[in-house]
Amino acid sequence: MRILSGMLGAVAVMALLAGPASAQGGPAKYGEPDKAKTPTEIAAEKDAERAYQRSLGNIPAQKSQDPWGIARESAPANAAKAPPAKPKAKNEAKAETKAETKSK
């Protein structure tokens, strides 16, 4: 009797959960023809599009914003750059470091 009541309870829970799941409509199928629009819907869409385009014209032009502009120098783009330094030979670099340590 105990097993039967447990099974009956499980079946009842599944039945209660299956109801809402079956009520959900599936996604629109591809290839279904669109519903024909009435002339009033077409006119309303055209009016809405015109109003949207007019509202875009009311937006003022935005300045270009550079949030890091104050953090970097504003150097002219065509400024003459110093030629890159020649890399030192390994022996010269070692000799300079030895000389620096001896002078200290």
Q: DSSP letter at 56?
A: H
Would you place residue 65 in the very low, low, confident or very high pLDDT band (cuts 50, 70, 90)?
confident
User: How many residues are given for the chain?
Assistant: 104
Cα separation, 14 vs 8, in Å, equals 10
**Per-residue tokens: 14:** 């599944």
Q: DSSP letter at 23?
A: H
pLDDT for the residue 44: 97
From 83, 100, 102, select the one nearest 92 (Cα to Cα): 100
Query: What's the whole-model pTM score?
Result: 0.33
